[in-house]
Chain A
Amino acid sequence: MAVMKHEHEGEAAKIGFTGPSRVEKDRFGPIAGVLSFRWVLIAFVLILWFVYYPIIDNFIVSTKNQDIFTGETAFIGLDNYRRLQGDPVFWTAIVNNTLYAVISVVFQVFGAFVLAALIEGLTEERWRRFWRAVYFVPSAISITVTGLLFYFIYQPDIGLLDSALTQIGLAEWSRAWLGEEGTAIYAIIAMSQWQGFGYSTLLFAIAIQKIPRELYDAAIMDGAGTWRRLWNITFPLTREMTGLMVIVTITGAFQVFNEVMVMTGGGPNNSSQVLGTWLYQQGFIENDFGYGAAIATVIFVITLITGFAQLWYTKRRRVDL
């Protein structure tokens, strides 16, 4: 509302309005407030029913031992959470999600920032547009397709990666990337970087375009070189976008499911399990809904923290939110 007032105060005054609310009040009266609820009714029913309520129900389910086939339910309190503590796969998943977050922040936030700065430094607009579009293409494709594609790329018999390594004389590096416990999660994370960096590059490019060019002109006059300009102008002036991207990327990293499911299903020997796939494994394959729900609660707590960080961050930037 603050935005609107600033921009249109002048015009409103011109046509003789002292405040926007007076006319509306006279026209609709006090009952209008209650009637206005109809605008938000459908959204509220849907959100409360399908988004909020399941979170509460999820916590209730997590305190029970339940078999979906027999329907027998027993209250077991926080036993499922105690079980999590002693579950090595759960801790593998936490480590894998954290790896996912750290590597994605490095490539999809800081790497993408540098790439966006390089692209925006090109002199011709058509080439800037061209590179932004090329790098973005994988982001438009579904993770299922890219996951399957890289599943094949990592195969030793038909895949591109091992053939390429052999051709450049690194045959001893070739292996079944998804079939070995030491490399599976890294192979998945690498696919995710390939798919996602163009998206964040695009967003950084948009942020960089908003920087006034006079700043660069002044810096050149002062004799600042390319890297000084990048570090002293571009980086500080896109810091808000960087902060937001860090939070969004971390949130995404703890909700990873699709690519792991498609590429390894959490294997080999649970080495590439993440919280999402371990939840699925426990809840839907082992039919242990209570334990699956406990894992879901952990994801909920982590994303709630990052969500509040994001809200705080956005609010700080935009007072009228």
Chain B
Amino acid sequence: MSVSHHPRETERTDFVAVLAKTCLVTFLISLGFVVLYPLFWMATNGFKTNAEIFGNPFALPSGFSIANYISAWNQGIRNYIATSVIVTLGSAVCTVLVSAWTAYGLTRSKLPGKPFFVGIVLGGLMLSPTVAVIPLVRMMQDLGLYNTYWALIILYTAFRIPFTTFLIRAYMLGLPRDLDEAAIMDGASEGQIFWRVTLPLCKPILVSCVILHVLFAWNEYLFAMIFTSGADLQTLPVGLTSIMAKHGTNYAIVFAAMTLSALPIVITFFAAQRFFIRGLAEGIGK
């Protein structure tokens, strides 16, 4: 068991080192089992019959019929996924675009009193959705947005602008200005510089921001539960609890529904792992 990054420790290849290494690997594998087995159990329970679920929980399903998955899909998951996709993508585009504009204004434009504006945006990082939820209900009702996609898209955007702007701004501060200066000499306007020069340079951080936003919006529960009540407007997390309430006795379908809603984000994670990890690293601050 070596905590160093140093590969060659020939003098330590004695019995103790081998024992330590074995312990470490055993520990990592056991922990990996604790992490993955519940997810494996969830997916395989989706293939079981209800009677099998009430039998030995460690047993594998007798057959891999996807009937439960199909009925979960048809009994709501399809609609919930559609809503989640609309809300997630809509708010991701709004959030990243508005935040990029704001970050540009806060770093590159001639805006007077920048520290004041930066303070307002970053202050928003400290305000949590839980605190705002009661007043927001009446506001959304007054605006006629209650129980619409727009309620969620606007709220997800508003609450994620401070964080996303913070990330993009930090990135823009580190960008060289030479290209800006050159573009200004060529007579480019602020708007042209933003779209043609700054935004393309920010691509890596924009990708990270989109991923972080998708992870947030896809999984958000509080706003989604409170601002949508119709079944056709529920996002996946809220829809799942409705399926649970509706099919409370038919566990197999609930397990299939859970697996189906976890799948897209897990696949996205493995497909875009590199971006995910970089995004998360940016998110916590370097």
List the interface of chain A (C-beta within 8 A of B).
1, 3-4, 7-8, 11-12, 15, 17, 20, 23-25, 27-28, 32-33, 35-40, 42-44, 46-55, 57-58, 61, 115, 117-121, 123, 131-138, 140-145, 148-150, 152-153, 157-160, 163, 194, 198-199, 202-203, 206, 213, 216-217, 219-220, 226-227, 229-230, 234, 241, 244-245, 248, 255, 257-258, 261-262, 275-276, 279, 283-284, 289, 292-293, 296-297, 299-300, 303-304, 307-308, 310-311, 314, 317-318, 320-321
A199 x B132 contact (CB < 8 A) = no
Could you tell me the distance between the alpha carbons of A27 and B186 in the complex, rounded to whole angstroms? 11
Q: Any chain A CB within 8 A of the CB of B199?
A: no
Residue tally, chain B, CB below 8 Å to A: 109
- Cβ-neighbour of A158 out of B27, B32, B53, B190 (below 8 A): B53
- Cβ-neighbour of A140 out of B131, B226, B266 (below 8 A): B266
- Given contact pairs A123-B7, A230-B3, A307-B125, A27 touches B131 in the complex (Cβ within 8 A): no
- Chain B, residues 27-42, CB within 8 Å of chain A (1/0): the string is 1100110111111011
- Given contact pairs A23-B181, A206-B281, A296 touches B134 in the complex (Cβ within 8 A): yes
- Chain B, residues 18-52, CB within 8 Å of chain A (1/0): the string is 00000010011001101111110110010000000
Could you say which residues of chain B place their CB within 8 Å of the CB of A43?
98-99, 101-102, 121, 161, 165
A149 x B120 contact (CB < 8 A) = no
Task: Using CB atoms, name the residue of chain B closest to A127.
Answer: B28
B190 x A23 contact (CB < 8 A) = no
Task: Using CB atoms, name the residue of chain A closest to B41.
Answer: A160
Chain A-chain B contacts (Cβ-Cβ < 8 Å), number:
318
- Cβ-neighbour of A299 out of B128, B135, B175 (below 8 A): B128
List the interface of chain B (C-beta within 8 A of A).
1-7, 9, 24, 27-28, 31-32, 34-39, 41-42, 45, 53-54, 56-58, 98-99, 101-102, 104-107, 109-112, 117, 120-128, 130-136, 139, 154-155, 157-159, 161-162, 165, 170, 173-178, 180-181, 184-185, 190, 194, 215, 218-219, 221-222, 225-226, 236-238, 240-241, 244, 251, 254-255, 258, 261-262, 265-266, 268-270, 273, 276-277, 280-281, 284-285
New A-B contacts (12) at CB < 8 Å, excluding given A143-B237, A255-B128, A303-B126:
A8-B176, A15-B181, A47-B121, A51-B162, A144-B261, A198-B35, A216-B4, A220-B9, A244-B284, A307-B125, A311-B125, A317-B285
Could you say which residues of chain B place their CB within 8 Å of the CB of A37?
105, 111
B101 x A121 contact (CB < 8 A) = no
Could you tell me the distance between the alpha carbons of A44 and B120 in the complex, rounded to whole angstroms? 8
B184 x A226 contact (CB < 8 A) = no
A213 x B5 contact (CB < 8 A) = yes
Give the distance to chain A from B150, nearest Cβ to Cβ, in Å: 12
- Given contact pairs A142-B218, A255-B128, A8 touches B28 in the complex (Cβ within 8 A): no
A299 x B102 contact (CB < 8 A) = no
Could you say which residues of chain B place their CB within 8 Å of the CB of A310?
126
B38 x A160 contact (CB < 8 A) = yes
